[in-house]
Amino acid sequence: MKLFVGLGNPGAKYAGNRHNIGFMALDQIASDHGFSPWKSKFQAQMSEGTLSGEKVILLKPQTFMNNSGQSVGEALRFFKLTPADVVVFHDELDLAPGKCRVKNGGGHAGHNGLRSIHAHIGADYGRVRLGVGHPGHKDAVAGYVLRDFPKADQGWLDDLMRGLSDGAAALATGDSGRFMNAVALRVAPPRSSTGEASKGRKKAQKSEPGVAKTPAKAATPEAPAASDIPAAPEDSRSPMQKLLDKFK
């Protein structure tokens, strides 16, 4: 069993905040993979489902960000899980918007939600760090994360959420590489063709059977080789005869 935890603050007032990107991720996973309706338990909103044969509990603590660990600790003890079974989805200031990284263990880097979880279950849990960018100065951080994502960010945000959902099954089985590949295919899909070689492929694709083609130019006749030109007859006249012939 895995416990996926999304961090955020409860209530409609905070729903669109950068700080709530963890809640958004779990909402997407629950919706796409047919999880049970959300219900109140462990001071949180909880939903249950299965990913790649692995039972997964989705947990959105309703204690406000700074006390998220209370809810996570309760769920962990109830299901008799270890910190290694926990994966926390959270906003990350040190990553550019739209970037995603997986990490196991380590410090909380000043994130109050992670700080609280550290206090209740220790540091040996997994994290999915979701980049929201940095406002540029530490004094502006609180106001920045508690503001909604602007409309200009909705494109990459939607791609990221879908990528997280696509890779959720791999994450549940512990395959972080496949998880990251699924996210990358959404946020940075490979181009179908590039460079001169692709131009040639595009031209070839246009020349399908049944499509009239431009007739090829007729080949230009080759100039005869020097060896094919008959040599001029040798002049056998004497020098005196050549001189006399000029005055005829």
pLDDT tens by residue, 25-37 = 999 999 999 999 9
Please report the pLDDT score of residue 41 as a whole number: 97
Judge whether residue 112 has pLDDT over 70.
Answer: yes
Find the mean pLDDT for residues 177-185: 97
Query: Pick the residue with more confidence: 56 or 228?
Result: 56
Burial of 203 (0-12, 13-18, 19+ CB in 10 A): exposed
Judge whether residue 76 has pLDDT over 90.
Answer: yes
The alpha carbon of residue 11 and the mean position of all alpha carbons in its chain are separated, in whole angstroms, by: 29
Return the CATH number at 161: 3.40.50.1470
Q: Tell me whether residue 116 is in a domain.
A: yes
Point out the catalytic residue in the list 19, 90, 111, 118.
19
- Residue 56 belongs to domain spanning: 2-187
Cα–Cα distance between 202 and 218 in angstroms, integer?
26
Please report the pLDDT score of residue 110 as a whole number: 87
Cα–Cα distance between 60 and 164 in angstroms, integer?
16
Please report the pLDDT score of residue 190 as a whole number: 72
User: Model-level pTM?
Assistant: 0.76
Split at pLDDT 50, 70, 90, the class of 212 is very low
Cα–Cα distance between 132 and 196 in angstroms, integer?
36
Q: Tell me whether residue 90 is in a domain.
A: yes
Q: Tell me whether residue 199 is in a domain.
A: no
Mean pLDDT (the chain) is: 85
Split at pLDDT 50, 70, 90, the class of 220 is very low
Find the mean pLDDT for residues 5-18: 97
Tokens of 96: 């550019």
Q: Tell me whether residue 230 is in a domain.
A: no
Residue 108 is among the residues annotated as catalytic for this protein: no
Task: Write out the DSSP string of 51-72.
Answer: ETTEEEEEEEE-S-GGGHHHHH
Q: Tell me whether residue 155 is in a domain.
A: yes
Q: Tell me whether residue 149 is in a domain.
A: yes
Q: Tell me whether residue 217 is in a domain.
A: no
Judge whether residue 111 has pLDDT over 80.
Answer: yes
25 within 8 A of 158, measured Cβ to Cβ: no
Please report the pLDDT score of residue 230 as a whole number: 47
Residues 6 or more apart whose CB falls under 8 angstroms from that of 182 comprise 163, 166, 167, 170
Q: What is the DSSP letter of 192?
A: S
Query: How many structural domains is the chain composed of?
Result: 1
Judge whether residue 158 has pLDDT over 50.
Answer: yes
Q: What is the DSSP letter of 17?
A: B
Find the mean pLDDT for residues 13-36: 98
125 within 8 A of 105, measured Cβ to Cβ: yes
* Element housing 4 (H / E): strand 2-6
Q: Tell me whether residue 204 is in a domain.
A: no
